[in-house]
């Protein structure tokens, strides 16, 4: 399908490298946000910062679809690692998202989004495969050889910063038969909006911390030194894989 691709970044340093590469950049203000229209490697894109938290990210995504007519949404950001094998510097490509703080029980099963009849919002299989391929090609862009994982990412309006909290979330989600790899604050909201509009969605998160007591410190260091390199490399590698716009 033709039409621009939205590239959502979680944080300004990650977006900066993309803005610098944008061909024919045009800045548009909407909903208190700045959107950048242009081309990356010839492919029409709209760049935006998701903003932080589920509601903010949902607003940004809705604006991208309604006002800019994007045909697919790709998210790059950072997240806390949860799975034992998911270490700082690794990449996690999402195959689905769950809101770990959604709880309308006993009216609805724990984690289920009311009236959707589902707790898990899957990503688009084809776009996810292209993103995973772009990630694979970019491993090492940050100077070491990290691992690429693919699986479930959790979102909630909470920066998870203690092992106790990370363990609590992990066990609750496992109780519903789900095995999470990472936790962040936006992806499930973007996935839900894309689901509503029938727009393809894929997401990758670089692991900035282990959602533990060191997370705030690890996070800051990581965003500045590593995440921005990945965002640039992965998006650059993804562009030629997308359908022509």
What's CA 181's distance to the chain center, in Å? 13
- How many CB atoms neighbour CB 244 within 10 A? 7
Name the nearest CA neighbour of 129 among 19, 238, 7. Answer: 238
Q: Which is nearer to ligand SAH, 78 or 134 (CB)?
A: 78
| Structure tokens given for 99 | 């809101």
Distance from C-alpha of 183 to C-alpha of 222, rounded to nearest angstrom? 16
Contact 209, 184 (CB under 8 A): no
Distance from C-alpha of 6 to C-alpha of 141, rounded to nearest angstrom? 23
For residues 29 to 68, the per-residue mask of contacts with ligand SAH, x marking binding by CB under 6 A and - elsewhere, is: -----------------------x----------------
| Structure tokens given for 7 | 């590239």
**Distances from the Cα of 61 to the Cα of 86, 131, 136, 161, angstroms:** 28, 19, 26, 27
Confirm whether 14 is a catalytic residue: yes
| Structure tokens given for 104 | 């309308």
**H helix intervals, 69-139:** 125-138
- Measured from each CB, the residue nearest to ligand SAH is 80
Q: Of the candidates 4, 17, 77, 236, which one interacts with ligand SAH according to CB under 6 A?
A: 77
| Structure tokens given for 23 | 């061909």
Q: How far is the CB of 11 from ligand SAH (least distance, A)?
A: 6
Q: Which is nearer to ligand SAH, 78 or 113 (CB)?
A: 78
Name the nearest CA neighbour of 40 among 212, 242, 187. Answer: 242
Residues 154-183 close enough to bind ligand SAH by CB under 6 A? 159-160, 183
Distance from C-alpha of 224 to C-alpha of 72, rounded to nearest angstrom? 27
Q: Which is nearer to ligand SAH, 74 or 242 (CB)?
A: 74
Confirm whether 66 is a catalytic residue: no
Q: Of the candidates 38, 80, 89, 180, which one interacts with ligand SAH according to CB under 6 A?
A: 80
Q: Which is nearer to ligand SAH, 159 or 197 (CB)?
A: 159
Q: How far is the CB of 95 from ligand SAH (least distance, A)?
A: 18
Exactly one of 95, 112, 124, 209 is catalytic; name it.
Answer: 209
- 99 lines the binding site for ligand SAH (CB under 6 A): no
Q: Of the candidates 181, 211, 233, 239, which one interacts with ligand SAH according to CB under 6 A?
A: 211
Q: What residue ranges bind ligand SAH (CB under 6 A)?
A: 10-11, 52, 77-80, 159-160, 183-186, 208-209, 211, 215, 219
- Enumerate the active-site residues: 14, 209
């Amino acid at each position: 399908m033709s039409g621009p691709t939205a590239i959502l970044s979680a944080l300004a340093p990650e977006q900066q490298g993309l803005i610098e590469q944008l061909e024919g950049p045009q800045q548009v203000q909407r909903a208190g946000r700045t959107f950048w229209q242009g081309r990356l490697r010839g492919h029409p894109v709209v760049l935006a910062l998701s903003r932080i938290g589920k509601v903010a990210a949902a607003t940004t995504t809705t604006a991208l679809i309604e006002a800019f007519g994007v045909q697919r949404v790709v998210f790059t950001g950072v997240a806390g690692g949860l799975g034992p094998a998911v270490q700082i510097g690794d990449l996690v490509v999402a195959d689905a998202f769950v809101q770990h703080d959604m709880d309308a029980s006993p009216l609805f099963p724990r984690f289920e989004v009311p009236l959707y009849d589902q707790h898990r919002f899957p990503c688009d299989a084809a776009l996810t495969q292209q993103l995973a391929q772009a990630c694979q090609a970019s491993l090492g862009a940050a100077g070491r050889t990290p691992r690429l994982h693919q699986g479930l990412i959790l979102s909630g309006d909470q920066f998870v910063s203690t092992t106790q909290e990370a363990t609590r979330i992990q066990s609750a989600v496992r109780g519903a038969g789900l095995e999470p790899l990472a936790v962040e604050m936006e992806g499930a909201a973007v996935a839900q909006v894309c689901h509503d509009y029938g727009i393809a969605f894929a997401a990758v998160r670089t692991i900035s911390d282990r959602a533990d007591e060191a997370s705030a410190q690890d996070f800051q260091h990581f965003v500045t030194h590593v995440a921005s390199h990945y965002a640039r490399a992965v998006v650059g590698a993804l562009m030629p894989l997308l359908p022509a716009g």
